[in-house]
């Protein structure tokens, strides 16, 4: 039996082949009634898109990859959703990969090895070194997410990020403005990652500007940016002598802050009366935690849009494009963990 084609679907739905293609690719500007009619024809005929045939015909498969360290982390899960939506607007489909921060896996995806149908990759690197990325970045369309720990021209790839120093500075300055003088930091990781270094820099800068002395005892080392490490670090901080024990804490991720809040609850301390808590990520977990968590919110929609558009432009261009660094906006959303009271989430 011959395979069902776009032409067969178009004839069944009473539309053009181009319209069928737009619906299959989830492209915008197709009316809902037309979309339903085409999808009904697709279902009735059992049509299945052939990405290999499309690649041979156009030179592109329409598939891009998104590679992130950990999909269980709310930030990356939410970002992946935004990337999928932005890609659909450009008629692209996203294949999501979880690297767990493994340098070998990150390098494999950055070169397109083992993913021959992918037109390009958006990668949030954690383990791979700048030198390794620099050696392969020109071989395959690539956009990087997250912190840069290298010079602008060292790695030939577009980069989309937020200003981590400024974001950490904003959160810490908010705590200092509340009159807190013993401000702790949870997120100084043992791997000295770029994220940790930059957020520590912003933290220390805000302390200096507020006239607060940085106390290393209030910055315990952690292993991971997760709830458990936030819990353990906050337990250590609450065990400090009364004159040293923090009256505020800036956590380098929402998950660390959730763990820290649990430790404060266990210790019988109230938030924010005894200890004010702020963090960074702007995840839904921060919104629904009890108390709701003050957090710096990176503009995930902007990050996703910039990344997808950069990658699409690089894939579709016949000429080499200059590499660019894009900084997405962020803002501080103050909630119950610093402002106190009870705030109704939705009115």
Work out the pLDDT band at 56, boundaries 50, 70, 90: very low
Question: How confident is the model at residue 25, as a pLDDT?
Answer: 65
Q: Report the C-alpha dihedral over residues 295, 297, 300, 306, rounded to 10 degrees.
A: -140
Work out the pLDDT band at 1, boundaries 50, 70, 90: low
3-state helix, strand, coil in the chain (%, to 5): 45, 15, 40
- Distance CA(229)–CA(235), nearest Å, equals 10
Work out the pLDDT band at 91, boundaries 50, 70, 90: confident
pLDDT at 346 over 80: no
- Distance CA(75)–CA(282), nearest Å, equals 8
Q: Could you read off the pLDDT of 169-186 as tens digits, one per residue?
A: 999 999 999 999 999 999
- Distance CA(222)–CA(234), nearest Å, equals 11
pTM for this model (two decimals): 0.80
Q: Could you read off the pLDDT of 112-170 as tens digits, one per residue?
A: 655 557 888 999 988 888 788 877 777 788 899 987 666 655 677 889 999 999 999 99
Which residues, including other chains, have CB under 8 Å from residue 105's CB and lie 6 or more apart?
67, 97, 99
Q: Could you read off the pLDDT of 264-305 as tens digits, one per residue?
A: 999 999 999 999 999 999 999 999 999 999 999 999 999 999
- Distance CA(29)–CA(42), nearest Å, equals 19
Q: Among the listed ranges 20-24, 73-77, 233-237, 329-333, which one has the minimum average pLDDT value?
A: 20-24
- Mean pLDDT computed over 192-197: 86
Question: How confident is the model at residue 227, as a pLDDT?
Answer: 95
pLDDT at 31 over 90: no
The sheet that has 93-98: what strands, in order across it? 93-98, 63-68, 118-123, 142-145, 158-161, 325-327
**How many angstroms separate the Cα of 316 from the Cα of each of 25, 136, 175, 183, 262?**
16, 19, 46, 49, 49
Question: How confident is the model at residue 303, as a pLDDT?
Answer: 97
């Amino acid at each position: 039996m011959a395979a069902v084609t776009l032409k067969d679907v178009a004839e069944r739905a009473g539309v053009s082949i181009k319209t069928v293609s737009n619906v299959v690719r989830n492209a915008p500007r197709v009316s809902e009634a037309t979309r339903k009619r085409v999808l009904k024809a697709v279902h009735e005929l059992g049509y299945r898109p052939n990405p290999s045939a499309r690649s041979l015909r156009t030179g592109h498969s329409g598939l891009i990859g998104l590679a992130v360290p950990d999909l269980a982390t709310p930030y990356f899960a939410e970002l992946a959703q935004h990337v999928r939506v932005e890609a659909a607007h450009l008629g692209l489909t996203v294949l999501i990969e979880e690297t767990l921060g493994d340098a070998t896996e990150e390098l494999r995806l950055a070169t397109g090895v083992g993913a021959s149908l992918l037109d390009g990759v958006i990668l949030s690197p954690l383990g791979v070194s700048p030198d390794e990325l620099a050696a392969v970045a020109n071989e395959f369309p690539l956009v990087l997410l997250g912190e840069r720990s290298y010079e602008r021209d060292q790695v030939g790839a577009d980069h989309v990020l937020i200003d981590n120093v400024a974001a950490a500075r904003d959160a810490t300055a908010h705590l200092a403005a509340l009159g807190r003088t013993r401000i702790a930091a949870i997120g100084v990781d043992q791997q000295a990652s770029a994220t940790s270094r930059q957020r520590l820099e912003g933290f220390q800068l805000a302390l200096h500007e507020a006239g607060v002395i940085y106390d290393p005892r209030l910055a315990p080392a952690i292993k991971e940016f997760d709830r458990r490490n936030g819990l353990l670090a906050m337990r250590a901080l609450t065990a400090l002598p009364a004159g040293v024990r923090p009256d505020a804490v800036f956590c380098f991720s929402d998950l660390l802050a959730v763990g820290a809040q649990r430790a404060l609850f266990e210790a019988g301390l109230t938030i924010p009366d005894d200890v004010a808590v702020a963090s960074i990520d702007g995840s839904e977990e921060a919104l629904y935690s009890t108390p709701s968590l003050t957090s710096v919110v990176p503009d995930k929609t902007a990050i996703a849009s910039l990344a997808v558009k950069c990658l699409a432009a690089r894939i579709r261009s016949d000429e080499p494009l200059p590499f660019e660094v894009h900084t997405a906006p962020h803002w501080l959303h103050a909630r119950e963990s610093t402002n106190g009271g009870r705030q109704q989430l939705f009115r």
